């Protein structure tokens, strides 16, 4: 299956994951939510490890995967907290700016060279992502002085770094995608447990109350499927992380529409124009392959 199709499938499930994530953190304590979502993820992946379907890894490889968990974990802490306080249509569009950072890193430091039509598609998508963020700024007023906006932006930068790191471990270090996903889930669960135990548990009686919700399990299931498609796409020797990132962030379409229809957030003409731009850009990226 084409790595572009896998990237698009990942985007669909990632969009659904954003909806479940928003429901999980809304009026809820974020850090225990992060831990339980990560724990469900690791629990669902554990049969693969126990059945012996993962390759044996040396200590250095485990350290690389633990490093990935630290990068993604930092991104999750920042973005989950921001998502709990921002409208979904705005939070997901800020998050969609990740391709801007990933494309810069991939082209500058990893030698990626997309085709001309793909460059045009990327440019249209990036402009559309910026327009979506401008629409959010009109709704929220002092956009970049909002602490939760800054938190989402910093989390997005870390997500972009994670995308480039994924290309390094999957293409240059030749890690098997399923092995990466399994061990990443375990290290992420351990990391989130430590964070929740140290920073939330001692202050739980004076902070936002925690409520268990079954959407935590849905978050884990959707992320497993999205990550599986994503890791398979990135592991393809022909895959360009700059293009995969653009495709994967098309998940903003689902979050945007859900924000308007389900969460009854504000509509604007600029948002719809930007969405049309994203769709146009993705079509150019797909047509430009080869």
Instruction: Please give the C-alpha separations between residue 50 and each of 56, 57, 58, 198, in angstroms, as whole numbers.
Output: 12, 15, 18, 29
Give the H/E segment covering residue 40.
helix 30-50
Q: How do residues 143-177 score in pLDDT, each as one tens digit?
A: 667 788 889 889 988 988 898 899 889 888 889 99
pLDDT digits (tens, 9 = 90+) for 63-106: 999 999 999 999 999 999 998 888 877 777 777 667 667 777 77
289 pLDDT higher than 60: no
Ranking 149-153, 204-208, 280-284 by mean pLDDT, the lowest is 280-284
Burial grade of 71 (CB within 10 A; 0-12, 13-18, 19 or more): middle
Highest-scoring range by mean pLDDT, 9-13, 118-122, 144-148: 9-13
Distance in angstroms (rounded) separating the CA atoms of residues 192 and 170: 24
As a whole number of angstroms, the distance between CA 166 and CA 170 comes to 6
Residue 190 and residue 185: Cα distance in Å, rounded? Answer: 9
Is the pLDDT assigned to residue 286 strictly greater than 70? Answer: no
Best CA proximity match to 25, nearest among 69, 72, 70, 91: 91
Inter-helix orientation angle 3-25/252-261, to 10°: 40
Q: Which of 223, 211, 252 is CA-nearest to residue 91?
A: 252
Token duo for residue 290: 């080869």
Whole-angstrom CA distances from 68 to 181, 193, 273, 286 are: 10, 16, 36, 29
| Contacts of 86 by beta carbon, 8 Å cutoff, 6+ apart | 94, 148, 149, 152
Tell me the mean pLDDT in the region 221-241.
90
- Inter-residue contact 202 to 29 (CB < 8 Å): no
Element (H, E) at 125: helix 116-140
What phi and psi, each to the nearest 5 degrees, are found at residue 288?
A: -80, -10
Residue 1 has pLDDT above 60, yes or no: no
pTM of the predicted model, to two decimals?
A: 0.83
DSSP state of 209: P
The pair of three-digit structure tokens given for residue 242, joined into one six-digit string: 């700059």
Q: Give one DSSP letter per residue of 131-144, joined into a string.
A: HHHHHHHHHHSSGG
């Amino acid at each position: 299956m084409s790595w572009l199709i896998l990237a698009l499938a990942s985007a669909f499930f990632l969009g659904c994951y954003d909806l479940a994530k928003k429901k999980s953190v809304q009026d809820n304590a974020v850090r225990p939510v992060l831990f339980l979502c990560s724990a469900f993820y690791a629990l669902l992946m554990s049969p693969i490890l126990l059945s012996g379907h993962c390759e044996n890894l040396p200590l250095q490889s485990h350290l690389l995967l633990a490093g990935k968990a630290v990068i993604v974990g930092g991104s999750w802490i920042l973005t989950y907290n921001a998502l709990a306080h921002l409208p979904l249509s705005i939070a997901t569009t800020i998050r969609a700016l990740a391709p801007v950072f990933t494309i810069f890193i991939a082209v500058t430091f990893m030698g990626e060279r997309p085709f001309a039509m793909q460059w045009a598609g990327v440019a249209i998508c990036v402009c559309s992502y910026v327009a979506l963020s401008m629409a959010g700024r009109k709704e929220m007023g002092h956009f970049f002085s909002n602490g939760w906006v800054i938190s989402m932006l910093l989390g997005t930068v870390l997500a972009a770094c994670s995308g480039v790191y994924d290309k390094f471990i999957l293409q240059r270090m030749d890690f098997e995608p399923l092995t990466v996903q399994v061990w990443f889930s375990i290290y992420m669960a351990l990391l989130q447990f430590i964070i929740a135990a140290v920073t939330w548990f001692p202050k739980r009686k004076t902070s936002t109350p925690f409520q268990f919700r079954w959407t935590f399990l849905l978050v884990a299931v959707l992320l497993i499927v999205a990550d599986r498609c994503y890791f398979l796409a990135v592991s393809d020797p022909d895959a360009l992380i700059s293009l995969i990132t653009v495709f994967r962030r098309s998940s903003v379409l689902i979050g945007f529409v859900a924000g308007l229809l389900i969460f009854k957030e504000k509509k604007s003409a600029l948002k719809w124009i930007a969405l049309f731009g994203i769709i146009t850009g993705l079509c150019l990226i797909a047509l430009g392959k080869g």
